[in-house]
Structure 1
Amino acid sequence: MYYKVILFDFDDTLVDFHDAEVQAYGHLMRHYEVPSHLHDYHRFKEINQNHWEAFQRGEITKAEVLRHRFIATFETYGMTVNGQEADIVFRDGLARAPIKWIAGIMPMLEALHSQYALAIVTNGVTDTQERRIAQTDLHTVIDHIFISDKVGAQKPNVGFFEAVFEVFDQYDKKDFLIVGDSLTSDIQGGINAGIDTCWFNHRQLENKTAIQPTYTIEHIKALKEILM
């Protein structure tokens, strides 16, 4: 299949978000002087995931997610915090965390750059994502960056992809391929938008959903076979 535009998710597709999030959580715990032996990233991860899933179901707003995930986390420590302040501290730690690449990503992007239009499509807060991306050399290989906060819509909503199609208006939907690690965000988003999808399952997770990607790969090198 011949594609012309490759859309890449950012977190856990190009870079290791888990690593950055662990560092940001440590930064948050130190800010609020929580003893190190009580730091429990997995506690936060579960609470955070539950809040984002509630957001995707339309039960709470994004602003409520960003505040309440920390209020709920610190309640488990018997502490009361200002959720908005905690979110700012956490996102500052996230933006400062050194970038850790997923294996093989930059060589692949450098190889593709001369043949395809490349774009990043990421859900997140504009300031945080721009600061993180600015740590990298992605500007040398990426043609455009779409951040949900700036776009005004979040993957998997069609509105997010409409903003992408508006920028790349010289191409048809058949020319697009989205590559991402999230079935519910990247792959479902691509399906909703009517473009082909590639699930980058580098963590070798079981697909327990009804979402069916066009392709599935476990190493970024396998993307070459799809694009041949």
Structure 2
Amino acid sequence: MRYKAILFDFDDTLVDFHDAEVYAYGHLMKTYRVPKHLHDYNRFKTINQNHWEAFQRGEISKSEVLSHRFIETFDTYGMTVDGAEADVIFRDGLATAPIKWLEGMEWLLEKLYTRYALAIVTNGVTDTQERRIARTNLEEIMDYIFISDKVGVQKPHVGFFNSVFEMFPQYQKEDFLIVGDSLTSDIQGGLNAGIDTCWLNHRQLSNQTGIQPTYTIESTKALAELLL
């Protein structure tokens, strides 16, 4: 394989984010004493996704995303909450949720560690992501960890990747590969930055975006076959 540096998204690429988010949402509902039969995670998921997409389009700020997603969610329950307070509670749940690796990923990273430069490239809030990553062994095997909140810009913006390239001056763009589960964030980001991309489509979703990855795979095993 001709690549020298592999950039990994974190959530739903290295570890399962869905389970962590469900855990955090349950933690939030319990804190606000919402009856368990009303814990509709899918309701929040839709509202949350709509807010992040609006942020990516530049229509709202990140702080508005973090608070308004909960104001709107609780409004559907007929409740009024402080959105910023709810966000702190939710992110504390994320940070303390059990870490669940994607099948075979921890083994694969240990193999890749001796062959490539490795980095995490993740969108998220610094405190939350650092607390979650600290509960894995990733700090020991990653050369760098890039969190959008700390970088100052999110994937897919090219500015995020420019910050990555600055830390790897020994490599050219053709030496990089980004691996991620999100077409609009990871893959589009790689395309914007001019590097090869690998869509880890482990949920077997259909691609209706027009975004074309360099590689499309559906399992960690397939990623191992590509990189080892």
TM bracket (short chain): over 0.9
Deviates more, 1:186-195 or 1:50-59: 50-59
User: How many angstroms apart in 1 are the aligned matches of 2:191 and 2:117?
Assistant: 20
Aligned residue number for residue 141 of structure 2: 141
Cα distance in 1 for partners of 2:173, 2:51 equals 32
Correspondence for 1:174? 174
Per the TM alignment, residue 226 of structure 1 is displaced from its structure 2 partner at its CA by 2.5
SS at match of 2:121: strand
CA distance in 2, matches of 1:5, 1:125: 24
Normalised TM-score (structure 1): 0.98
Over residues 114-163 of structure 1, what are the superposed CA-to-partner deviations in whole Å (9 max), with x where a residue is unaligned? 01000000000000000000111112221110000000010000000000
Aligned AA for 2:100? K
Structure 2 residue aligned with 1:83: 83
Q: Partners in 1 of 2:219 and 2:94 — Cα distance? A: 25
> Helix, strand or coil for the counterpart of 1:24?
helix
Asked whether 1:35 is paired with 2:35, we answer yes
| Residue 114 in structure 1 maps to residue 114 in structure 2 | yes
TM-score, with normalisation over the residues of structure 2?
A: 0.98
Aligned length in residues: 228
Q: Which residue of 2 aligns with 1:129?
A: 129
Q: Matches of 2:131 and 2:224 in 1, distance apart?
A: 30
Distance 1:41 1:28 in 2: 11
User: Could you tell me which residue of structure 1 aligns to residue 186 of structure 2?
Assistant: 186
CA distance in 2, matches of 1:15, 1:139: 14
Residues in 2 aligned to 1:38 and 1:219: alpha-carbon distance in whole angstroms: 34
Q: After TM superposition, give the deviation of residue 222 of structure 1 in Å.
A: 1.3
CA distance in 2, matches of 1:126, 1:55: 17
> What is the identity, as a one-letter code, of the residue corresponding to 1:26?
G
Q: Is the 8 A contact 1:151 1:160 kept in 2?
A: yes
Counterpart of 1:9 in structure 2 is 9
- Which one-letter code corresponds to 2:224 in the other structure? K
SS at 1:208 equivalent:
coil
Whether the 8 Å contact between 1:2 and 1:227 is mirrored in structure 2 is no
Amino acid of the structure 2 residue aligned with 1:80 = T
The one-letter code matched in structure 2 to 1:136 is T
C-alpha distance in 1, partners of 2:140/2:205? 31
Provide the secondary structure at the position in 2 that maps to 1:119. strand
CA distance in 1, matches of 2:63, 2:107: 37
Kindly provide the CA deviation profile for residues 185-226 of structure 1, in whole angstroms up to 9, marking residues without a partner as x. Answer: 000000000000000000000001110000001011212333
What secondary structure does 1:34 align onto?
coil
Give the equivalent residue in structure 2 for 1:200: 200
Which whole-Å CA distance do the structure 1 matches of 2:217 and 2:16 have between them? 17
Within the alignment, does 1:68 sit opposite 2:68 as a pair? yes
Q: Distance in 1 between matches of 2:214 and 2:58?
A: 27
State the AA in 1 paired with 2:55: F
Take 1:24 and 1:202, find their aligned partners in 2: how far apart are those partners? 22
> SS of the residue aligned with 1:224?
helix
SS state of the match for residue 198, structure 2? strand
Instruction: After superposing the two structures, state which structure 1 stretch, 215-224 or 40-49, moved more.
Output: 215-224
Is the aligned partner of 1:45 residue 2:49? no
Corresponding residue for residue 97 of structure 1: 97
Give me the identity figure in percent: 76
